[in-house]
Amino acid sequence: MSADFDEAELALLLVDPALWSEPSQGLADLVVAAVVAEVVAAAAAASAPAKAPVVDLHQWRNRRWLAPAGAAIGGAAAAALLTVALTPRHDDGAVSSAANPALIASLALTGTGLATGVQGSADVSVVPSGVQIRIRAPGLPRREGDEFYEGWLKSCDSTRLVPIGTFHELADATGWAGVSIDKHPIVTITRESVAGPKDVAQGSSGEVVLSGKLAPCP
């Protein structure tokens, strides 16, 4: 059996900087959010008859028939499908819910050339059905009738786009998604209008007015 280390041997072990670095304070929240989002996505994939609402960006282009109200109903139905046995709880024992979400990230949204100078913010919270994204961009003008805004979560390589809701105004709006935010860390807001009735789906117009990132892309 080995004897104890002497101080010189210990020094060789202890000099490694990796032993002394500390992770960020917020890493625990990100880990919890990542696992919970994975649990939600797995449960949704197991229970939903159709595939989860992660779509190929190219398949969505030029398909636009859902009115905002219809899309909102579709979003609610999707959220219902994503409701799973999971009941995330906070340290105080409270159950996460849409009315009592667990905030995990906040980010700034910046106006593009289509909304120069407009600033906004998004708060991302974990709820039992996935993540809730509260968007506040009071500088964007209200859209009426068949014109609206749509929120999206996007993957870093821009190949996957997840709708989070449609809105006439974004002074204080809330959307939802049932996907892992660490795989879809980009939040964008696009300008949309209702398309013709022959289209089979409503996709992104590509007219991004606001965008922000939850985390840097590799």
Partner 1 sequence: MSLVSAVDENTLAAFRQGDERAVRALYDAYGRLVFAIANRVLRDIGLAEEAVQQTFVQAWRGSVTFEQGRDPAPWLATIARRVAIDIQRREARRPTSPLDDAPPGDGSLVTHDPSADQLWSTWETRAAIEALAPDERQIVRLQHMEGYTQQEIADKLGIALGTVKSRSFRAHRSLAAKLRHVREPIGEQ
Footprint of partner 1 (CB under 8 A): 1-7, 9-11, 13-24, 27-28, 30-32, 34-36, 38-39, 43, 85-91, 93, 96, 102, 126, 180, 182, 216, 218
CB of 142 to partner 1, least distance (A): 37
Identify the three-state secondary structure at position 83: coil
Q: Considering the complex, state which of residue 91 and residue 144 has its C-beta at the smaller distance from partner 1.
A: 91
CB of 95 to partner 1, least distance (A): 9
Token code pair at residue 29:
């929240």
CB of 64 to partner 1, least distance (A): 34
Instruction: Tell me how crowded residue 116 is: count the other CB atoms within 10 A of its CB.
Output: 8
Q: Considering the complex, state which of residue 2 and residue 116 has its C-beta at the smaller distance from partner 1.
A: 2
Burial of 136: CB neighbours in 10 Å, binned 0-12, 13-18, 19+: middle
Distance CA 24, CA 104 (A): 13
Q: Considering the complex, state which of residue 81 and residue 209 has its C-beta at the smaller distance from partner 1.
A: 81
What crossing angle do the helices spanning 27-47 and 68-82 adopt, rounded to 10°? 100
Q: Considering the complex, state which of residue 25 and residue 116 has its C-beta at the smaller distance from partner 1.
A: 25
CB of 34 to partner 1, least distance (A): 5
Answer for the pair 131, 144: CB distance below 8 angstroms, yes or no. Answer: no
Burial of 26: CB neighbours in 10 Å, binned 0-12, 13-18, 19+: exposed
Q: Considering the complex, state which of residue 11 and residue 73 has its C-beta at the smaller distance from partner 1.
A: 11
Distance CA 144, CA 122 (A): 23
CB of 193 to partner 1, least distance (A): 38
